[in-house]
Structure 1
Amino acid sequence: MRRTLIAALLSLSAVPAVAQDRPALYPTRDVAVTYRVNGGQAQAAGMQSITIAWLAAAQAMRMDMGPAGYMVADHRNQRGFMVMQQARMIMDVPMQQAMQQYGPSENATYRRTGSATVAGHACTVWSYQDRGNSGTACITGDGVMLRAEGTSQGQSGGMEATQVAYGAQDPSRFQRPQGYQSMQMPGGGQMPMGRPPAGAVTK
């Protein structure tokens, strides 16, 4: 499941939950969260866990997928890229596809359904509907998603935080690496999970 598998955090600034009765859609401070994944593309690709780091001041997210590589979503500039470290390739990814790996979009409608404690942190449980996709997400008051599960395009999956580490993130880890070969997805292709896709064009 792409959309619910990996963020419930998409807007140009944190949205106050009280004012619009919806969760904050960005962490308001730097944080790195390790998740256990259940179903979806990540588990299908052999990944049991992923780590997502947020550089709050730049509104940038980095998703580390183990030896396969990582993906960065730059919300401020509305662009994303995936790095395949073993192949030393980099591929630009449309923001919509990049954030499908994380959770519901900023256009989703939300409803509070309860509260929980995940990985030692309190969070509010929200149910959401997002262009035919649906699920639940547990999000802290400062915009950190701790748990999400749902269904998208007939696929079900989820993720749950096992470790939350607040602390300053290195901005260089969110920048494009140098010396990697550029790769372009074929028209209509799906974003790979850390592997060069069949039919990809290098340049």
Structure 2
Amino acid sequence: MSGFKTTLLRHTGVAVVLAAGVAMLPLQAQAQKAPQSPVAPESLYGAGATPNIAAPDSTAVCDRDGPCITPATDADIVYELTSPVGDAAIKQRMRWQVAALKQRLDPENTSVYMVTSWPEHTLSVVDLSRKRFSVMPAPSQGLTPPGHIAMTGTYARLGSSIVAGERCTVWRTKDTDGHASDVCYTPDGLLLQVAQGQQITVRALSVSRATQPDTVFTIPAGLKQEAPATP
């Protein structure tokens, strides 16, 4: 694992998936503290459970009680990721379909992309150049439902910002290593920026709320399935 990927994993305040040698930006920040909600993620999206996203929790008001950290709308966002130690920045496209709770991540300059399905708890890595794909368990089994404030972690409001033409609220939280991170979320749950200290490590460059078709998240026909790569 390169220094850039290791630093992202430790310092951005978001979960980083490493597959096929590529560092991936996640959907939401991963916090360290105990749940804020009495409803545990597993009770909502346990093995074999069907997600229920029809009605947001009426007591969970985004930007008042805490951030909503899962998009409540389809989204297409291009991010720039920068390492705090000065490595070169990379770009990555994230697409999200709220109805199916699926996410696709496409890093620049590679034929590899990843599709995460939270209802199925799977992460599929697709390599178009090799015409191969693999399926493994998703790195995080819990997902805060769209329209609900973060179900785990502690968040302290710092203020607001404008990123990629979108207004977002800045919250201070901690990553899984206990490092403080400042994350900026829109009211409808889009992550726009992550900062560690004085360094912006994740920043949205463009944001679209266009409807994402099923085909974006479908594994192309004709690819051969293979076992997931091991570290």
TM-score (norm 1): 0.72
Q: Percent identity?
A: 22
Asked if 1:76 corresponds to 2:119, the answer is yes
Could you tell me which runs of 5 or more consecutive residues in structure 1 were left unpaired when the two chains were aligned: 100-104, 191-203
Mapped partners of 2:208, 2:165: distance in 1 = 11
Contact 1:8 1:137 (C-alpha < 8 Å) held by counterparts: no
Give the number of the structure whose alpha-carbon radius of gyration is greater: 2
Match of 1:91 among 124, 134, 157: 134
Asked if 1:64 corresponds to 2:109, the answer is no
Contact 1:71 1:81 (C-alpha < 8 Å) held by counterparts: yes
Match of 1:122 in 2: 167
CA deviations 1:88-142 (Å, max 9, x no partner) are 111213211699xxxxx96333222221010110001111124324312100000
Match of 2:193 among 147, 160, 168: 147
Match of 2:65 in 1: 21
Match of 1:113 in 2: 158
Larger CA deviation: 109-118 vs 138-147 = 109-118
Mapped partners of 1:55, 1:162: distance in 2 = 19
Contact 2:29 2:175 (C-alpha < 8 Å) held by counterparts: no
Contact 2:80 2:89 (C-alpha < 8 Å) held by counterparts: no
Mapped partners of 2:219, 2:212: distance in 1 = 16
Q: What letter matches 1:183 in structure 2? A: E
Is the alpha carbon distance of 1:114 and 1:157 closer, same or farther for their aligned partners in structure 2, counting shifts above 3 Å?
Answer: closer
Contact 1:80 1:98 (C-alpha < 8 Å) held by counterparts: no
Mapped partners of 1:119, 1:88: distance in 2 = 35
Structure with greater helix percent: 1
Tell me which stretches of 4 or more aligned residues in structure 1 moved more than 4 Å: 9-15, 17-20
CA deviations 1:157-177 (Å, max 9, x no partner) are 821011111111111111222
Could you tell me which runs of 5 or more consecutive residues in structure 2 were left unpaired when the two chains were aligned: 1-7, 17-24, 31-40, 46-52, 143-149
Contact 1:30 1:56 (C-alpha < 8 Å) held by counterparts: yes
Larger CA deviation: 137-146 vs 70-79 = 70-79
Asked if 1:131 corresponds to 2:176, the answer is yes
Asked if 1:8 corresponds to 2:28, the answer is yes
Match of 1:183 in 2: 226
Match of 1:54 in 2: 96
Q: What letter matches 2:119 in structure 1? A: R
Larger CA deviation: 109-118 vs 1-10 = 1-10
Is the alpha carbon distance of 1:19 and 1:36 closer, same or farther for their aligned partners in structure 2, counting shifts above 3 Å?
Answer: closer
Mapped partners of 1:109, 1:69: distance in 2 = 34
Deviation of 1:20 (Å) = 8.2
SS, match of residue 215 in structure 2: helix
RMSD: 3.2
Mapped partners of 2:228, 2:212: distance in 1 = 30
